[in-house]
Structure 1
Amino acid sequence: MKISIFAGVLECEANVAWFRNQLIGEEMHEDDCTNGINGRGIKKDDGSCKWSNTFIRASLEAVAAVCKTAALKGNLHESKTTFDLILCEQTKEMAAKKDKPPNCPYKKGELKKNRKIVIGCDKYGPIHFEKLQRSPVQVPVWTKVQSVDW
């Protein structure tokens, strides 16, 4: 019995480690898609090149805080704060070549700024990226008002 509980804890922690490897890219830039995906060994379950991948430009801790929000449905949680993300994709021509990891080419990533995210969580932290909000959240721009002497 103790062994099965310990194995379950390891599996859950492994899910969070998988999430970090697949999705957390704190220092990621648009030009990093090919090296980022291949360098981390990101691929489909069948071992082929993954057509697309999204990196969240934030720490695991910042993303894990989303898990503390009220669940939308099941284990899905929407962030209250916004994140910047890098969307990496292959072109149709790249995908048609059927290259194998670690030789999967990706076009320059697309930076998505100020987006809320929806992630799946277990009691150990984030384990699944569901989606990002389509349109950016408008961040208020505060301007300094000059004082006028009357």
Structure 2
Amino acid sequence: MSGAYPSVTGSFSAFLCSCVGEESGIEALTSTFADFRKRHLAPRNAKGDNNFCTAQIRNRNLTDHGSCKQRNTFIFSDEDVVINVCRTGGSHYPDKQHNNLYKSNDLFNLTECSWTNKPEEPPNCSYTADMKTRFIILACIKKLPVHFQKSVPN
């Protein structure tokens, strides 16, 4: 399933997410699915290479409090499949600090983008890509993903 989204041109079916250390505490609780989509949705047929990471993070103005964002992970899948992780496509993931985490039942293709640590400032940040296939763990509110917690190999 493909659909056009008003904040991004073209058809999309991939999610982008930066997880470890991106959000914590109140920020994670106040995120919405719209925020998740803005940060994490990417074109379905995109090639998740270095140029892709740099362009997507730049075009979406994704920063870390005005500095280059350290990491961002793109999950390539139809939106409905990712939403379903919070419903029947995932299982509750036990965590001592959060009770709203769900681990996907299926593997997802991911591209993890990492800042190159060059002396840059937004919007001129550059990134390297690392493609993987892993399970995803999402924070869900009202059966919708609002935060990408992490990915795991099994």
TM-score, scaled relative to structure 2: 0.68
SS of match in other structure, 2:84: helix
Shift of 1:20: 1.2
Match of 2:121 in 1: 100
Q: 1:77 aligns with which of 84, 102, 118?
A: 102
Matched, 1:66 2:85: yes
Match of 1:19 in 2: 36
Query: Following superposition of structure 1 onto structure 2, how do residues 1-150 of structure 1 map, counting pairs within 5 Å?
Result: 15-25=32-42, 26-28=44-46, 29-30=48-49, 31-44=51-64, 46-68=65-87, 69-73=90-94, 74-92=99-117, 94=118, 97=119, 99-107=120-128, 109-113=129-133, 115-123=134-142, 125-133=144-152, 135=153
Shift of 1:14: 6.6
Alignment-mate amino acid for residue 103 of structure 1:
N
Which segments of 5 or more consecutive residues in structure 1 lack a partner in the other structure? Answer: 1-11, 138-150
Alignment-mate amino acid for residue 19 of structure 1:
F
Comparing both structures, which one devotes a greater share of its residues to strand? 2
CA contact (8 A) 2:91 2:104 kept: no
CA contact (8 A) 1:24 1:58 kept: no
CA contact (8 A) 1:22 1:55 kept: no
Distance 1:124 1:47, change over 3 A: farther
Runs of 4+ in 1 over 3 A off after TM superposition: none
Distance 1:27 1:13, change over 3 A: farther
Distance in 1 (alpha carbons) for counterparts of 2:58 and 2:32: 20
Could you report, residue by residue, the CA deviation over 1:75-121 in whole angstroms, capped at 9, with x for unpaired residues? 000000110000111223x1xx1x222211112x11102x1111000
Taking only the aligned residue pairs, the percentage that are identical comes to 33
Match of 1:6 in 2: none
Larger radius of gyration: 1
**Over the residues paired in the alignment, what is the CA RMSD in angstroms?**
2.1
